[in-house]
Structure formats: C-alpha cells, structure tokens
C-alpha cells in the first residue's frame, strides 16, 4: 500500500475536510456538519470507488490548488459549475481523472455553484473528532480547514484508469431557486402576514453565507412576541427569524438550539440544492404539507440512490 501526497499551493477560506457527517449528537450540542451538498460529495467519492461518506475536501469559490509530490492517485471533482485545470487541461468538474507525480490540479469557481468536492481514491488522512472527520467550522473540530503549504495525504491510494470519465451533474442535483418548506414549528410567534411575506415575497441570498447559515434579503417578517422564548432545538434547513425580522436558513454547522422563532423548515432534499445558489441569487419558498414532504423525500431518495448506485458500479 502506498501513500499519495498533494502539496497545497493555494487554499482559500472555507475549504475543509468533510466526511459524511456525525449525526446523532445534537443532544450534546453537536450538529451533524458534513458536506453542504451531500449528493455532490457522495458522487465524487463513489466515482473513484470510495465509500459515499468517505473523507473528501469541500472547496468554496475561493478555490484550491495542489501539486502531486509523490505517487499518482485517481481523483474526482463534483459539485456546482466549478472548473478545474488539471496539468494545463481545463474542463468542467463532475469528472474523474488521475493526478500523476509532478502534476498540478487547480479548482476554481465557474458559472454557478458555491461548493465542490475533491475526492481522492484511497483514504484521506484527517483528524477525527467523535469518530468523524467532518469539520465543524465554528470550532474547527474534526479534520479542519486546509491551508496553503500543508499536504493532503491519501493512504492506500489507488490508480484506476477505468474510472476516469465525466459524469454530468444530474438534473435532480442542480440548484433550485424554489425551496419547498413545511410551515413551522413556531410560525405562531410571528405576525400573521409574516407567512405570506415568506411565501409570496421575493427573497435573495445575502453575502452573509457560510456553513452555519445564510441570511436572506427580502420583506421583513414581523415577530409577534418578545424574544424571550426558551431555546428550542434547530435542524439544518430551519428558517429562523431574528428580532430585526431578517430570516436566516440554518445550514450544516447550525447551532443546535436557538431562541428565535423558526417560521418554516426547508426539506432536506431541497437543502442540498439551494446551498449551490450564490449570494444575490433569488429564492422563493413553497409550502407543502408534512405528508407531501415525506413523499417528496422518498421520491428524491429513490432517484438519488439509483443514480449514485450506477455511478459506484462503473466501470
């Protein structure tokens, strides 16, 4: 078994190690973290023969550049409309190739998308916290952020030319500006017209966007009651309204409880898609019943697993 080493010649902010996440610990104040776009992360991993939840590198629009300083390794980049430059050859991501000794790989933003994933065939070495390498950005716990000058180490690295191919982003993983929500759980703590402002108003993502959440711009959502609500559990996708009437969609590294009312919650299936929107992109919210939301989750999971299974089986 050999080890591949990639020297990091550039790592922008918000580039982190992420495995599939550490679910089940919210009762200890720990959100699941893990990839912002779980479908793209799983696709990158499966396309090179890794487990879907293996440790990969989440790359922000700030980009990542590496140089292979040792053994060759097969890699894939998937997520958003990012671009890559592999040893001088530029292409879209959603592609697997092999990085040979001395070659460089540069990942940079393209026409759309906020997150892309670099998977490396083998086992990416990263610090574990509570059994997972997923990085919790607020604390740096887990694998952590990547920094220029460090090395990415891939143990038991593999080279698998048969897996080198492109696998275009499936329609169901493209970003959507129509997020489906279930109303509540604290819609009763807002003025009645707040719901219509959420559902009928035009909203946009603000620049205040990171792994914890994204603040929205749009009509203010008026809160009815004083802000002394005892803290309540939060999930990824909770739309929380602060005292100033500004809504925030909480994302993977969300705080686990909060005292601001949550007017609605984005379906998990849509969350992987709206995180690929960029600041200033418009977003609209459509309410569905809880029963319909479960149907949507089942349909989405079916399509997703069929596509991912096919990707994993190749070649």
Partner 1 sequence: MVTLRLAPVAEHALLVEFGDTIHDATSERIAALDRALAAAPPAGLREVVPGMVNLLVDFDPLVTDHAAIEAAVRDCLGRPAPASAAGTRREVEVCYDPDLGTDLSAVAGQTGLSVDEVIAAHLGGDYRVRMYGFTPGYAYMSGTPAAIRLPRKPAAVRGVPAGSVIIAGPQCIVTTLLMPTGWWVLGRSPTRILTGDEDRPFLFDVGDPVGMRRIGRDEFERKARRAVAA
Q: Under the rule (CB under 8 A), what is the footprint of partner 1?
A: 23-30, 130-131, 136, 138-139, 141, 181-182, 184-186, 229-233, 235, 237-238, 255-258, 262, 265-269, 290-291, 293-294, 296-298, 301
DSSP 177-234: SEEEEEE-SSGGGB-HHHHHHHHHS-EEEEEEESSSEEEEESS---B-S-S-PPPEE-
Nearest partner of 179 among 263, 70, 55, 102, judged by Cα: 263
Q: Which is nearer to partner 1, 68 or 194 (CB)?
A: 194
Q: Which is nearer to partner 1, 88 or 244 (CB)?
A: 244
Q: Which is nearer to partner 1, 181 or 311 (CB)?
A: 181
Q: Which is nearer to partner 1, 95 or 253 (CB)?
A: 253
CB-side neighbour CA atoms (13 Å) of 115: 32
Helix-helix angle 38-47:290-313, to 10 degrees: 20
CB 52 within 8 A of CB 88: no
Closest separation in Å from C-beta 271 to partner 1:
9
Q: What are the tokens at 164? A: 């080198």
Closest separation in Å from C-beta 209 to partner 1:
20
Closest separation in Å from C-beta 163 to partner 1:
28
Closest separation in Å from C-beta 167 to partner 1:
24
Backbone φ and ψ for 84, nearest 5 degrees, come out as -135, 155
CB 82 within 8 A of CB 276: no
Closest separation in Å from C-beta 301 to partner 1:
6
Q: Which is nearer to partner 1, 33 or 74 (CB)?
A: 33
């Amino acid at each position: 078994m050999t080890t591949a080493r990639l020297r990091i010649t550039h790592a922008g902010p918000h580039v982190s190690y992420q495995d599939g996440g550490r679910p089940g610990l919210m009762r200890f104040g720990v959100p699941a973290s893990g990839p912002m776009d779980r479908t793209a992360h799983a696709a990158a991993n499966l396309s090179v023969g890794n487990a879907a939840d293996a440790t990969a590198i989440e790359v922000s629009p700030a980009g990542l550049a590496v140089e292979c300083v040792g053994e060759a390794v097969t890699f894939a980049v998937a997520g958003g409309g990012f671009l890559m430059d592999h040893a001088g050859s530029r292409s879209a991501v959603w592609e697997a190739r092999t990085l040979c000794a001395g070659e460089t790989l540069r990942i940079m933003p393209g026409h759309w998308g906020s997150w892309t994933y670099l998977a490396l065939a083998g086992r990416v070495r990263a610090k574990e916290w509570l059994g997972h390498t997923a990085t919790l950005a607020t604390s740096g716990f887990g694998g952590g952020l990547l920094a220029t000058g460090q090395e990415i180490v891939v143990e038991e690295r593999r080279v698998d030319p048969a897996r080198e191919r492109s696998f275009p982003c499936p329609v169901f993983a493209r970003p959507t500006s129509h997020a489906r929500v279930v109303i509540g759980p604290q819609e009763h703590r807002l003025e009645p017209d707040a719901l219509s402002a959420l559902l009928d108003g035009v909203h946009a993502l603000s620049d205040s966007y990171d792994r914890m959440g994204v603040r929205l711009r749009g009509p203010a959502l008026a809160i009815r009651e004083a802000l002394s609500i005892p803290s309540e559990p939060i999930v990824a996708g909770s739309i929380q309204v602060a005292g100033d009437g500004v809504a925030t969609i909480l994302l993977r590294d969300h705080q686990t409880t909060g005292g601001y009312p949550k007017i609605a919650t984005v379906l998990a299936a849509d969350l992987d898609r709206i995180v690929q929107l960029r600041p200033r992109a418009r977003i609209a919210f459509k309410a569905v019943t809880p029963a319909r939301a479960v149907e949507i989750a089942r349909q989405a999971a079916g399509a997703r697993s069929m596509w991912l299974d096919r990707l994993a089986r190749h070649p």
